Each structure stands twice: as structure tokens, then as C-alpha cells.
Chains A and B, each alone.
Chain A
Amino acid sequence: MSSGNAARKTQSKRIRPEYATISGMEIDECYRAGDGGGVLGEPGRYPFTRGVYPSMYRGKTWTMRQFAGFGSAADTNARFKYLLAQGGNGLSTAFDMPTLMGYDADHARAEGEVGREGVAVSTIDDMSVLFDGIRLDEVTTSMTVNCSASILLAMYLVVGERQGCSWKKLGGTIQNDMFKEFIAQKEWICPPEPSLRIVTDMIEFCTREVPRWHPVSISGYHIREAGSTAVQELAFTLADGIGYAQAAVERGLDADDFGPRLSFFFNVHNDFLEEIAKIRAARRMWARIMRERFGAKTDRACLMRTHAQTSGVSLTAQQPTNNVVRVTVQALAAVLAGVQSLHTNSLDETLALPSQGAVTVALRTQQILAEESGVVNTVDPLGGSYAIEALTDRMEREAQAYIDRIDAMGGIVRAIELGYPQAEIADAAYAFQQATDAGEYVTVGLNGYTMEEDHKLEILEIDRAIEGEQRERVKAFKAARDQQQVARLLEAVRSAAVEDRNLMPAVVEAVRGGVTVGEISEVYRRVFGVYQDPATV
């Protein structure tokens, strides 16, 4: 193979191989026929290595779904409308930390945090304002929310109702992937088992009542952002998916019914070849998991539909214009890998939430790829490439080894309790930092090609007054309600929680009656307990 490298390798005490992906996976000098591939299959046919649909982007371009949210519901509504007007064709909602963690804007723990990392939503009125003037049966919406997902989904359904939309017409995704919270994103209320119960309630509820909705977006993005390698991202995401499918089966749901409701979300990081291989391997592995492990008979239930986002951690605060180039390369990888929807990061995101100007460039990046690059004209254009097929096979092999290890531990819930994926991620993150500090991995503008910069980017500033205004709005909303009715609605949620009945009907009823995000979350805290961060280093 690469004999030229052997002499160099024995001399240096490198942390990683000299020719390696960003994940540290050694790459051969040249790949040839026979290094990988085997029987590839057809696009749109099990196991979907080449793509989930026969005509892919010739039939339908990926959805350009830019994640957006800041300040008040009115601020974000304006950004939503701007993105739709500029050709974005799917909504994606970023909520603020209090909303994500189940606290209303008037709670002590919300202080300093309201509207700063996403949009503040505490009440059904906030949710109505957020989608004001946007018909929910004409657009699909993704909502990035996890431990309070049940409440936000209920609010979305009620806003749809108020607009006169049937639940059967509402399409979209709610992230609701609690396993990866314990592993990586770290937004939780209660411990893993009751968190899984709530996720399963939502899968069951949506399978029956909201058939166009994806009640879970099984995510690798955050696992990767936390510092995992590409193989770990792939393996832990699939292991999480296995955990949810298992829970759904144990709940009595049929794999052919819930399979199509599951969706995925991967990172697209710097290493072009590795990322394409990762996503192709993911499709093939998931299809086999659904068929062989869970007995799904239809191809539709085995089909992995996935969103992707370009990597946030790969961007630099130094020479931020370079980020446009990074995002373009990453977005191209996503398109060549065959994703169904895509978010491209903005050049200013190491410093702040995206400014309007920066998000426009990010959206145009996708539009240029779709309209000008020509890669949409044929399906899986890199299929059959010696390097891509060899890497796809290798990603599958190495990810399978992790999945086998997690199976041997007793599954993902047990692996999380043991701290296994968390430790793997922390080790990989530290190794990458060491490689960067040693100059073994060069990030342009950061530890190579540095320069004095005299111009300043205009970044998005969130007015501090928004917090006080939102707090007052929430207080006024709460005070204007029938307090006895609120108490009754909360009691209905509590008893569904305690009596092991599906929570969603009671949560929807509560939200219809004006109960807030924080109030329902507090019921979860009291019934299920609060998870404490193990705080391992």
C-alpha cells in the first residue's frame, strides 16, 4: 500500500497518522478496484447505499431548511418570513435555553438567557406569534427541542388547529432525541428511562394522530460537535436509533408503521470523503437494522431519510470569510452524499447567531449548488469511486464494532449509564485538541496562515430589553388565566405521567388551556426526578 509513508511514520511521535481524515482515520495513498464496493444496488432500493429515492434530486431538490431563532417570537417570525422569501423552503426553529430546558421566561433560572440562543417560547401565544402569517399546512417545520419536545409539539398542533389545519396535514420534524442529549447535547429534565418513555409516547401518538410528522430526529450532529470521530458519530447515532426502535416495538408498535416516522440528522464536517462515506454507510446500515433486527417488511420502513447541518465547530472566529468556503465544501459533501434536507451555517456563527446578511450567503450557497454546480443531474455521482466505496465499507465495519460493543453492554441506555459514549467522545475531543495544539491538524487562519485582522464583522445583537419584555408578557398571560382550570389541566398531565398512560393527549389539552412550557416541565421534574450531570472530565 503506501510504503512511502512508513519511513516517515517511524520517525515522528505524532498523535495521529500523517495522512488521515479529520477524525484521525488513516487514508491510503491510492484506492483501487477491489478495495471496496461489492454489490452496490440501485438508488431507491433496499439497502439504499446509493440513495433513498430512484431519481433523488432530479425528482425533488433537498429541502433548504435553515435553522433560525432569536429574541422574541415576533423577531423570529420576521426571520422565518425572510428566509421563505429568499427561497428557503422549510422552516427550522431554534429555541432559547430556558425553553429548551423547560423553564418559562419568568423563572429565576431563565435570567440572562431569554432569547439569547434561540427564540423564547413559554406560552401558546408565543407559539402563535412565531408562526403568524405562515400556514402550517403549506410548509414543513423542524423544531430543535428535546426534553421539552412534548410541550412544543403540542403547541405546534394547537397553533395548526387555530389556523384551521387538520393534524393530518401537518408535516415536519421534532428532534426529541433524548439519548444524544445524555451523550452530547446535554439538555435534559429527567433521567434516561422516563425520557425514553416520553419519546416513545410521542412516536406512538404521532404514528396514529399526526401521520406526516417525524416525532424523532435521531441525531449524530451534536455527538460530532461534542468531539466524536465520524465513526463514533455514525455508530452512536445508529445505536440510539436501535434503542428507539426497540422501545417502539416493546410498546406494541409495528416496525412497518413506525419505521417511516423515524428520521435522522447528521453532521457534515470538514473531511469531504469521510463524510460522504459516513452517510452512505449510515443508509445501508440502518436499512439492514430495520429489516434484520426489527423485521420491517416494506422498503419504506427501512429507508433512512436524513437532514444534515454543516459543522459549527469547524468554523473559525479568525478570518471569518473563510467560513463561507468551509460551508461550501461541507454542503457539497452533503449533496453528494444524498441528504434530504440541509442547513448551511453562516460565516459569523462563531461569534453570534446569524445576521441576515450572513444567513443569506449561507442559503445562496445551497441554491448555487442546486442550480449551478450540475451535481444534481445524476444520482450518486461518486458511487463506484474506489476511494468512496472503500471508505464506505470501512465506516460500516468500524461503526459495527462499536454497535456490537454497545449491544454487549446491554444496549444504549445501559451504555449511557456506564458513561461509555460520553467517555469516547471526551477522549476523541481531547486528542483533536492536542493534534491542533501540536500543529498536526492545520485549521487555516487559526494555527496556520494567521494574520492581523483590522476589520470587524457586524454581528447580530440581541437587545437586552427583550428579556424583560418577555418576562412581563408571560406574567400577564399567566395572570389572565382561570387558575383552577390550569390546576386541573396540570393534574391531568401528572396523572397520565404517574399512571403510565400516553402523555400527549393530556399535554395537548393542557396547552390548549394555556398551560406553559415551564409548568408542564415542572410536573415532569416532580414525577420523574431531575437528572444530574455526572460531571466526569
Chain B
Amino acid sequence: MKVEKKTKIVKTIRIDVDKCNGCRACEVICSSFHATPKYSSNNPERARIRVIHYPLRDLYVPVYAGEYAAAECAGRDRYTIDGKEYDECSFCRASCPSRDVFKEPDSGLPLKCDMCESDPSLSEPMCVQWCLADALVYEEREEEVEVVEEPEEIEIGLEAMAHKFGWQKILDTAARMSKED
């Protein structure tokens, strides 16, 4: 088995909840960008980023959509940060049955952020470009990951047989059987 070291680019959005002013421009430009044709309509309900906000409690948390979760979490907790109480869901990126964000309003299908993947590619996702408050900052992080070269299935099988019968026996058998075919 081969083990190789590789660098991989991880695309992320760094979110500063203290800087968010709750304008929801990120929702507008996200839904417009993902409309077909591009920019032809706006509907924050289709956005893959939502500002979870409770203005009078001074809560503003921009969250962008992550993986779909088939079931809701058990025992959703509450966190108090700087004296403000947040529901655990405020920070969660999942499209899940417990809430109505990150679902296509027509079909109910889950939505997921694609970092505005397009050709030609953008310098930054549109939500970041439209966030003049810098609550959203795009970051590309290089991560070194171990890439293990996985053996093919047949190799695993052959290796096991060679261990039992020896290589010569396998080659002979393979030659005889292919002739019989």
C-alpha cells in the first residue's frame, strides 16, 4: 500500500457575526446568481446562505448551506455567548427536517452552497463580494492530506491466493484455464 502526501485547497467562508449588519444582501445575490438564466430572478427563499436573525436580541448569524441531514438532531442545545442565547441550529449548516431553511421552495429539495462554482471561476463567492461589512470573508486554506493509494479489488484477491498456493500454481492454472475457454 502506497501512502502519499498531497496538498488540497479547502474553500471556506470565515464568518464574523459581530460584523454582520443584517442587510441580507448575501441572500439576494446568492439566489440571483443561482437563478436560471443567471441573475434572472431573486428570491431569498432559494438562497444557499441565510442570515439567522433576531434583531431585538441582537442575533445575526449568516450560515451557508452544507450537507443534507435526513433526520433532525436529538436534544438541540442552547448556547450563551457573550450574554446572548443562541439556538444550536443558528450555527448549523444542514438542510434538515427541523427547520425551513435551505430547501427549494417549490420542490422542498435540499440546497447546498457550491461556492459559486462557475466557468470562468469567480475570485470569491458572490455573497462575500456583496458583503461590504466584511462579515463574510472568503478563505482558501491549503491542507496537507495523506492520500493512500488503494489497491484494486482483484489485487487483494490475487494476493490472498498467492499466499495460499504460490505464484507458479496460479500462473499455471490461469494459462490452462484461458486455453480451455
A and B physically associate: no
Using CB atoms and an 8 Å cutoff, list the residues of chain B in contact with chain A: none
